[in-house]
């Protein structure tokens, strides 16, 4: 890889990934909806362009055919918060992803790498289990699953290498969303009760710098039309992660398990397997969960 395009480049995962690519000597065209980036740091190998991906073809004003070899797609509205249940928005995200794939082929990119989600597997289990009534929280994952399915067919039809890394649960310094790690750490900071489900469901978390490294290695070494699970390589029941978090950042707090009802789907531990990512791409996570949550809570305390 010499020159890549990254959409959603100024977001949490996108910005870390851009930085990693730049550190590897890859030139990056960063694409986002903001007039000026809020996270990205100026770099001689970085060019920033404001663009709404609903009009991805407008990039042709600054992109020459054959100039870029790889297209990485992170732009996705409603990845956290109440917009996760907006099915119109999530369907729009899926359609925009297909259009970005087609545009990547049009300008001569050989590879298209899209940020998928482990929730795609949860969606399949939730939808195809007899009698199950999946909640609206699955709408986001359904959008990702639809995008994945359509992109695979379209990529095969137009002749571009599609690679689909799937993030388990990314967290770390710079994330503002109300996702699990952030919410739990904020409760600790604010001395709020720590109440959870029985937390027996299998889970995994991966620190953001490891996520960025994984995307680079997948884009460089990943096999066409394969998916890669991005995780810590140490998946286990959620309760074990929560206890590890407590020991790392708040050893004197009290954890209450079972007070909150669990309405999701417990995925088999095999779903979290990262061996393909390790064997095909050379990935190995470097930041432990205990270290990652310590870094994150220290940062959260500076912005609370």
pLDDT at 81 over 90: no
pLDDT at 263 over 80: no
- pLDDT for 260 equals 82
Q: Could you state, in order of their start, the residue ranges of all structural domains in the chain?
A: 1-167, 172-204+234-274+283-304
In which band, very low, low, confident or very high, does the pLDDT at 262 lie, cut at 50, 70 and 90?
confident
Q: What is the mean pLDDT of the chain?
A: 96
- pLDDT for 297 equals 98
Give the mean model confidence (pLDDT) for residues 233-244. Answer: 97
The Cα–Cα gap between 59 and 48 comes to 11
pLDDT tens digits along 188-224: 999 999 999 999 999 999 999 999 999 999 999 999 9
Give the mean model confidence (pLDDT) for residues 258-285. Answer: 92
To the question of domain 1-167 being in CATH 3.40.50.720, the answer is yes
pLDDT at 57 over 90: yes
Work out the percent of the chain whose per-residue pLDDT is above 70. Answer: 100
Q: Please state which architecture CATH assigns to domain 172-204+234-274+283-304.
A: Alpha-Beta Complex (3.90)
Give the mean model confidence (pLDDT) for residues 136-155. Answer: 97
Work out the percent of the chain whose per-residue pLDDT is above 90. Answer: 94
pLDDT at 12 over 90: yes
pLDDT at 265 over 90: no
């Amino acid at each position: 890889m010499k020159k890549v395009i990254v959409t959603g480049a100024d977001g949490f995962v996108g910005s870390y990934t851009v930085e990693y690519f730049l550190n590897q000597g890859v030139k990056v065209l960063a694409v986002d909806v903001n007039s000026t980036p809020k996270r990205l740091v100026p770099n001689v190998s970085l060019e920033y362009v404001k663009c709404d991906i609903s009009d991805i073809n407008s990039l042709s004003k600054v992109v020459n055919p054959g100039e870029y070899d790889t297209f990485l797609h992170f732009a996705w509205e409603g990845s956290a918060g109440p917009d996760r249940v907006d099915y119109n928005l999530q369907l729009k995200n899926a359609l925009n992803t297909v259009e970005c794939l087609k545009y990547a082929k049009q300008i001569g990119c050989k590879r298209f790498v899209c940020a998928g989600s482990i929730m795609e597997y949860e969606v399949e289990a939730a939808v195809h289990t007899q009698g199950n009534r999946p909640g609206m929280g699955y709408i986001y994952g359904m959008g990702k699953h639809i995008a994945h399915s359509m992109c695979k067919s379209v990529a095969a039809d137009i002749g571009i290498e599609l690679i689909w890394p799937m993030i388990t649960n990314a967290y770390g310094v710079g994330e503002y969303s109300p996702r699990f790690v952030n919410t739990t750490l904020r409760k600790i900071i604010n001395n709020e009760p720590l109440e959870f489900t029985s937390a027996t469901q299998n889970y995994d978390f991966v620190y953001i710098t490891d996520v960025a490294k994984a995307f680079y290695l997948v884009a460089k070494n990943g096999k066409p039309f394969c998916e890669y699970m991005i995780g810590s390589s140490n998946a286990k029941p959620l309760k074990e992660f929560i206890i590890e978090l407590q020991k790392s950042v708040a050893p004197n707090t009290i954890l209450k398990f079972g007070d909150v009802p669990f309405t999701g789907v417990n995925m088999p531990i095999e779903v979290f397997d990262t061996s393909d990512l390790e064997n095909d791409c050379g990935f190995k996570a470097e930041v432990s969960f205990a270290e990652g949550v310590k870094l994150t809570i220290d940062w959260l305390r500076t912005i609370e």
